[in-house]
Each structure stands twice: as C-alpha cells, then as structure tokens.
Structure 1
C-alpha cells in the first residue's frame, strides 16, 4: 500500500476564534492529500477533467481526535483504501505538528461524465490510472 504525505502550514484564516482549525478545513486538506497522492502516482486530476470526467464525493466520514492550531504544521497522510475499477475510497490520517493523531477519515468517489453524470469505467477509459490504483491500494 502506498501512502502519500502532504505538509500543511496552518493559516490564521483556517482557524476559529480559539485558534483551532475550523472543522470544514480538514475537508480541504483531504482534497490536497488526494491531489498529492494522484500526482505521486504520476497523474493529474486536471487532465481527467480536460477529458470531460469528474470525480465527485459520494460519501465522507470524518472523526476528530485532537485539534490542530494556528502556527502549527499538519501532516496529511492519504492512501487508497479500496478501489474496484469504478469507485475509489481514499483513507486519511491528519497529524498535529507534535505527531498526535488529529483526524481519521475516508472519502468515497466515483468517476462520471461531466455532462451526463453517468459513471464510467476507469479500467476502460483510463487504463494507466487503473493499473496504478491497483498497485497502490491497500
């Protein structure tokens, strides 16, 4: 299983009045983690979009463990939890600068045609991605 890592510098705008990262910002960080994972595997999501394919979130689960605070760096670890040629589930762990586990999460996605929202087979339409995901998954 391949695990991608992305370091995030916590910006003031990402925090609430207590100096703690606002809960919805972890979703943005998860997207950064997915993007980094895809790039680590040799691809760019923007190239898929150019071909008229998008990958919406169809389900998300997130569990908050401990806060990340303004001025810290967070570490986002991302991997492919499961993949079946149509749907992909990404796994995430986000750590504080001290190494404490802050968040565990998964997000489920499916690739669809942008104009019709009909699912496509990644295996058929993007065989290189399919092969890379098969090798990298858990």
Structure 2
C-alpha cells in the first residue's frame, strides 16, 4: 500500500495567539498530502479539472493529538483508506519533526462534472485511476 509523504514548514502566519498551528490549516495540509499521493500514483488533480471533473469533499474529520508550532516541520502521510468506485476516502497522519503524531484524519470525496455537479463513475471516466485505487484497496486488505 502506498503511503505518500509531504512536508510543510510551519509558518508564523499559520499559528494562532497561543503560538500553535490554527486548526483549519491542517485541512489545507490534508490537501497537500492528497495531491502528493495522487502525483505519486502518476496522476494529476489539475488535469482532472482541465477535463471538466472536480473532486469535492463530502466529509472531513481531524483528531488533534499534539500541537505543531512555528518553526516546526509537518510531515503529512496520506493513503487510500476506502474506495468504492464512486467515493474515495483518504487517510492522513501529520507528525512533527520529532516523529510525534500530531493529527490524524480522513476526507471523503466524489468526482462530479464541473458543468452540472452530478457525480460520475471513476471507473468509467478514469479507468487508470480506478485500477490504481483498487490495487491500493487490495494491498490494504491483504
């Protein structure tokens, strides 16, 4: 099972008055991780959008374990947690530079036509992605 890794240096602007990363920034970092994961599989979100398909979030969850602070580095680990052919759920872990677990989470997505926002079948419109995600699902189960 592929688990991609992306890194983000924590910037001062991403922290709150308490000096810790503001909670909503972790959702942005999930997106960075998700994009890196897709690129590691050999695909492109940007190309999908050029093809008239969007992948909106339908559900998102974050569980905060330990704060990250300015000057630290966030390491974002991303994988396919579930895949149905219509929906994809990505799993995430974010660790600090000491490899301490700071955040866990997941996000669920569907693919829709940009013009109508109607769901599409990933298997039909992106058969290569479908096969790659099915392989990830099998590796996770095995």
- The alignment partner of 1:90 has SS state of strand
Deviation for aligned residue 1:115: 1.1
| Deviation for aligned residue 1:98 | 1.0
Q: After the TM superposition, which parts of structure 1 deviate over 4 Å for at least 4 consecutive aligned residues?
A: none
The answer on 1:39 being equivalent to 2:69 is no
Give, in angstroms, the shift of residue 96 of structure 1: 1.2
Distance 1:136 1:39 in 2: 14
CA distance in 1, matches of 2:74, 2:84: 30
1:13-54 CA-partner distances (Å, limit 9, x unpaired): 111122210000000000000000000000110100011100
Deviation at residue 135 of structure 1 after TM alignment: 1.4
Report SS of the residue matched to 1:59.
strand
Q: Report the Cα distance in structure 2 between the residues aligned to 1:105 and 1:24, rounded to whole angstroms.
A: 13
Alignment of 1:121-132 (within 5 A): 121-132=121-132
TM-score of the superposed pair, with normalisation by structure 2: 0.95
Moved more, 33-42 or 16-25: 16-25
After TM superposition, list the pairs within 5 Å mapping 1:4-23 onto structure 2: 4-23=4-23
Partner of 2:117: 117
1:58 paired residue number = 58
Q: Name the counterpart of 2:49.
A: 49
Whole-Å separation in 1 of the counterparts to 2:74 and 2:51 = 33
Deviations 1:99-136, CA, capped at 9 Å, x for gaps: 11100101000000011111000101110111111112
Q: CA–CA distance in 2 between the matches of 1:74 and 1:33?
A: 11
Shift of 1:88: 0.2
> RMSD between aligned alpha carbons?
0.8
Give me the whole-angstrom Cα distance separating, in 1, the residues matched to 2:15 and 2:93. 19
